[in-house]
Structure 1
């Protein structure tokens, strides 16, 4: 009996483990979509994540996954991680190992760096490294960790340690051929060389960064790298080379990215090169889209410029503005530091509170009153459950109806669009039909001209033309076509105008041979007198009567 209970308990625990594993292998489609957007468009990913209702996420894994994605999106949009403290704690506590654990430690470290707790941040960065294997995603995260470690060491003036970490980051980025990340890491390496006065190494690294930046074909990366190269030459007092790369950085700057830092750099270089007018022009240009800090630097440079030109009043005005802006920036920085300290102490207070609550929980377990409270809460929960279910049902019905309305509107819009397309196609076909009809009419005219020309080459036409030139004053003396000539004429006409005759016979089967002959002769362009001669008459009235009778027959048959 004991073995049976043990076996059943084992099966039950195994099912729970398998179920939990299955839960972690599946996730919300919305979260998967947001994850795919992170690399392409961090702004859209952040918007998508903010629209997700966390209460609709079913498992703890999805909630932790959502927290990690939101932290990543916040970081990729260059926003402060301070408000994400609780989200990062969820990730570090839930994920047991692997890539997500490594990411959690990475962002925990970045949060601590932002709070000025570099020593604690370094611990989390090093704790993240063993969680990462050799997959492409793991290598990229490892490179980011080495890069962050390098920045921390750089800020602490530990330049050899910083250089070592930046080189490790660069090696990881090279192994996955992430050229943009390589360029960024090379930029940090060049800064270390600059501080260590290793000018040749600095130039070598920046030259490599410039080459890779152009290979990325990313205008912003190229612009930033050229600007860094310009500052390198400026530090070496090579003003002409610095100007060359500053203008190159300006030419590659995307239209939606601020150009004021480059304008400011060019203005300063022009000032150092004693090109006063150009320096004043570019320094004033930096006011267009610069930050408050950029404006302060611009006023400082303009103060030096005006002072050098002997314009002491203008130099004093710029210096005054410079001082006011610097003071305001100091106050903002001070308030930011106070805010960071507040977050730091808030975290420490949370930890202390958590420990105190644990002690209180242990003590509270002793008292039976907790059971009574829990029972009361259960009763209240059941009472509120009906209201909650009713609200959820109402919300679901409302959302379903709104979705149906939106679907119907979408179908209406689609149908309207199809109608517009069909109307446009109908107009196009009408135009093409009219064009083809005009073409058919023109071809029919050309065909008739050719048949008339062919008829004019016959002896019958020559004879008719000759007879039509007779004196018409005396009908008795007028000569007409003989019976044999009329037979020859009929034969010639019916042969040349065979298609017209066939069409008339098909459409008007009651027409006589004389009617058909007249219809063909009427197409040749002969006048009424000449047509009368073809029928052996000298009177045009006979032809007019035949024309009238022919029209009457055609109307009746139609």
Structure 2
């Protein structure tokens, strides 16, 4: 196997920067910036060796705050609060560099979105749109995340409008992934509203794009989307065909618990109980607490119908344990959710 010299170089630099407390952080920030698009993990490694308290220059401090927030986001690390990104926003908000101003407000939106503060996230994305270049990829990220925020607040008409704006922009840019994101997003919004025919139409378009670019991860996700719509319509045989395709096209390195759960549910609806139990059991191994509750509830129903009462009681007890855990999670977030719902109500009243 050939040595990866870039990885060796980056690792060496990380060790060097950790050992050398040099107040001049410009070279480190420049290196992190050059890596962040294609080697976000390496950029994060470099940035985490620095300390914002040791950076005295305001410009460098703002750049560090922006780059670290971006690196955390691209490495799928959760954003705890807005204190870091606000350093960048406060510096760039009156800056003539629109690219950095746009990026700062975009990542402010990502921080709020991660923390389910959708009103603040929406405002940040709308601010980012004002200075975003119409011909560069960040505008598509802004549109799609803004649409997701509208969707999370059940503002479906603004969500549809925003996804369509994203689609039109992606078409002008000839960005296939941008078109794919927007098309699937439209399918999701229509599916939530039980407009199945429109949802299927957009999902089929999205699937064609995913197949044209040979992206198996997207193919898996969209086949699952289509299967759910058919399942909701009671078209269980067609739903089974689609979920089988989702499994066929699934990449080897992804968590298949959600796909197994949907296949198990569809098989249960088809009264293929043995197969349903098999897939639901497979789904339970890596499922989150919410999916586990649904899995064990379904397994309870199956065993009760089959008069396997002892097994049914065990599954029911496990489901109740999951529901108790969910209730504790809900209890801890209940007050925040009430405050956010009130904020949404005020937001609607202002419109």
Same structural fold, with TM-score higher than 0.5 when normalized by the shorter chain: yes
For the residue of structure 1 that corresponds to 2:36, the secondary structure is: helix
Aligned match of 1:276: 273
1:70: which partner in 2? 68
Does the Cα contact within 8 Å between 2:190 and 2:199 map onto a contact in 1?
yes
- In structure 1, stretches of 5+ residues that fail to align are 1-26, 343-558
1:297 aligns with 2:291: no
Shift of 1:58: 6.9
Q: Quote the Cα distance in structure 2 between the aligned partners of 1:339 and 1:47.
A: 33
Report what 2:14 is aligned to: none
- 2:242 paired residue number: 245
Q: How many residues align?
A: 313
Residue 79, structure 1, aligned to residue 93, structure 2: no
Question: 2:135 touches 2:173 (CA, 8 Å); kept in 1?
Answer: no
Tell me how far 1:108 sits from its aligned partner. Answer: 1.9
Q: Are 1:171 and 2:191 an aligned pair? A: no
**What is the match of residue 304 of structure 2?**
307
- State how far apart, in whole Å, the 2-side matches of 1:236 and 1:315 are: 28
Q: What is the CA deviation profile of residues 449-485 of structure 1, one whole-angstrom value per residue up to 9, with x for unaligned ones?
A: xxxxxxxxxxxxxxxxxxxxxxxxxxxxxxxxxxxxx
Match of 2:127 in 1: 127
User: What is the distance in 2 between the residues matched to 1:322 and 1:33?
Assistant: 50
Deviation readout 1:89-134 (Å, 9 max, x if unpaired): 1111111240211121122233334445433333222222121123
Q: Which residue in the other structure is 1:438 paired with?
A: none
Cα 1:174–1:45, aligned 2, differ >3 Å: closer, same or farther?
farther
Provide Cα deviations, 1:32-71, integer angstroms capped at 9, x if missing partner.
Answer: 3333433334333322321235467574322211211111
The CA distance in 1 between the partners of 2:34 and 2:338, in whole Å, is 35
User: Offset at 1:333?
Assistant: 4.0
- Is it true that 1:35 corresponds to 2:44 in the alignment? no
Distance 1:297 1:67 in 2: 41
Sort the Cα spacing of 1:213 and 1:65 in 2 relative to 1 into closer, same or farther, 3 A.
same
Q: Is contact 1:115–1:340 with CA below 8 Å preserved after alignment?
A: no
Q: Which residues of 2 match residues 379-528 of structure 1 at below 5 A?
A: none
The 8 Å contact of residues 210 and 219 in structure 2, kept in 1 or not, is answered as: yes
Aligned-partner SS, 1:80: coil
Q: Deviations over 1:148-197 (max 9, x none)?
A: 22222222322111110111122223333333343232222112222344
Change (3 A) 1:328 1:192: same
Moved more, 30-39 or 326-335: 30-39
SS at match of 1:40: coil
Structure 2 distance, partners of 1:289, 1:224, is: 17
User: Is the contact between residue 115 and residue 341 of structure 1 (CA under 8 Å) also seen in structure 2?
Assistant: no
Distance change >3 Å, CA 336–CA 197, structure 1 → 2:
closer
Given the superposition, is the C-alpha separation of residues 248 and 30 from structure 1 closer, same or farther in structure 2, using an over 3 Å criterion?
farther
Residue aligned with 1:82, SS: coil
Q: Residues of 1 paired with 2:150 and 2:289: CA distance?
A: 29
Paired residue for 2:318? 321
Deviation at 1:307, TM superposition (A): 1.7
Segment drifting more, 222-231 vs 193-202: 193-202
Distance 1:291 1:183, change over 3 A: same
Q: Answer yes or no: is 1:198 the counterpart of 2:195.
A: yes
Report the counterpart of residue 17 of structure 2 in structure 1: none
Contact 2:227 2:242 in 1 (8 A): yes
Using CA pairs under 8 Å that are at least 6 residues apart, name the structure with larger relative contact order, 1 or 2.
2
Distance in 2, matches of 1:39 and 1:340, equals 34
Q: Is 1:108 paired with 2:108?
A: yes
Inter-partner Cα distance in structure 2 for 1:146 and 1:133: 12
What is the correspondence of 1:210-359 to structure 2 with a 5 Å cutoff? 210-336=207-333
Q: TM (normalized to structure 1)?
A: 0.52
Contact 1:146 1:169 in 2 (8 A): yes
Q: Which has the larger radius of gyration?
A: 1
When the two chains are superposed, the root-mean-square deviation of aligned CA atoms in Å is 2.7
Structure 1 residues 234, 151: CA separation in 2 closer, same or farther (over 3 Å shift)? Answer: same
Structure 2: gaps (5+ residues): 1-24, 340-351
Distance 2:312 2:252 in 1: 32
Q: Structure 2: how far apart are the matches of 1:337 and 1:47? A: 36
SS in 2 for 1:255: coil
